[in-house]
Chains A and B, each alone.
Chain A
Amino acid sequence: MSDIDRILSADPVIEPSANFAARVMGQVREEATAPPPIEFPWRRFLPVAITCAAVLLIAVGLAVANFDPTAVPVQPEAELLPAFDVALLSQPSAIAAIALIGSLLVAWLATRFAALPSRELF
């Protein structure tokens, strides 16, 4: 048997503190009596998530279906720059952007709504 074996086989014992078991049991009881973790509000989240996804899909679908590169008039760069044009709303990308903003707004409202105490909801 080498020195290493002999020394490692003869590691000294340490005694746990007198209140160690009590401390552990205190924590165990605390854990056992703690209220269960708050469940994720799937009931509220799912309809909103499905609505958002549907809106987004419809918007993307519309954008793809209406996309026609030949229909976009080639204009000089200077004419494309004006920030907002009513004609812009007819572009598929604009529809998609509006749908996206709408989805984000609904999601934000949902989070605000979910943060309210349940008694204020019902």
Chain B
Amino acid sequence: MMQATSTLRSMDVVPTTPRYDDDGLAANRVLGGDIDAFESIVERWQGPLVNLAYRYCRNRGEAEEMAQEAFMKIFKGLGKWRQDSRFSTWLYAVAANHYRSAMRRRRPVWADMETIEQLVPGGDRSQEVDKTSQAEAIRRAVASLPPKYRDVTVLYYFQDEDLAETSRIMSLPPGTVKARLHRARKMLETKLSTLLQTSPLQEAHQ
């Protein structure tokens, strides 16, 4: 069972004693032949990349596998990082691009509305369980969106609702990101209309 302790923001995961505090310095060391310097990058970014992968696939084992592959792509493509842009932007762009490809190869298990409906609260369960089920149903519904809406939604919320950073990572104009987000929300509302109408979250909020 996954360890869900708090909410994640992309920059929340604190690295564990990396050798190089600066990603640029570590990257230059790696490019200069010091392979071990890459460990600093892995240690610093393992949390965010595994969590971003998890938001795509909703499976812990698969998320780690996807993140590991993303790190390999980052290692091999380190020379392509133009140092005038932020390392994190480039890193997320490489990872998101890889996750998108990995998801295309996968069976679309999340596109099944029946699965989502099964997660809609039943009459005899507690409200706490219902809330968890609803949250899970919403996250699965996001994963079932068409890729271009799913990617924007996943990255936008992962990046702490930072529209500018999301647009940089996706190499899309902010207006396009905004439009896709709007469309994604409409699609989610339509998909989850029955769920949201009976939501204890809403009841608790009122």
Contact = CB atoms under 8 A, between A and B. Distances in A.
Interface of A: 2-17, 20-21, 23-25, 27-29, 31-32
Contacts of B3: 13-15
A15 B47 contact: yes
Contact of A28 (B13, B71, B160, B189): B71
A98 B6 CA distance: 76
A21 B51 CA distance: 14
Contact of B38 (A9, A14, A20, A25): A25
Given A9-B157, A21-B43, A25-B42, A14 B2 contact: yes
Contacts of B134: 3, 7
B68 A14 contact: no
Contacts of A29: 35
Task: Determine the interface band of chain B, counting residues with CB < 8 A from chain A.
Answer: 35 or more
Given A4-B196, A9-B160, A14-B50, 13 more contacts: A3-B202, A4-B185, A5-B157, A8-B138, A8-B153, A11-B157, A12-B6, A13-B5, A15-B47, A16-B67, A20-B68, A24-B71, A28-B72
Contacts of B39: 21, 25
A33 to B, nearest CB: 8
Contacts of B161: 5, 9
A3 B157 CA distance: 13
Nearest to A33: B35
B68 A23 contact: yes
A25 B196 CA distance: 44
B142 interface: yes
A29 B139 CA distance: 36
Interface string B23-54: 00000000000011011001100110011001
Contacts of B50: 14, 16, 20
Interface string B115-149: 00000000000000000001100110010000000
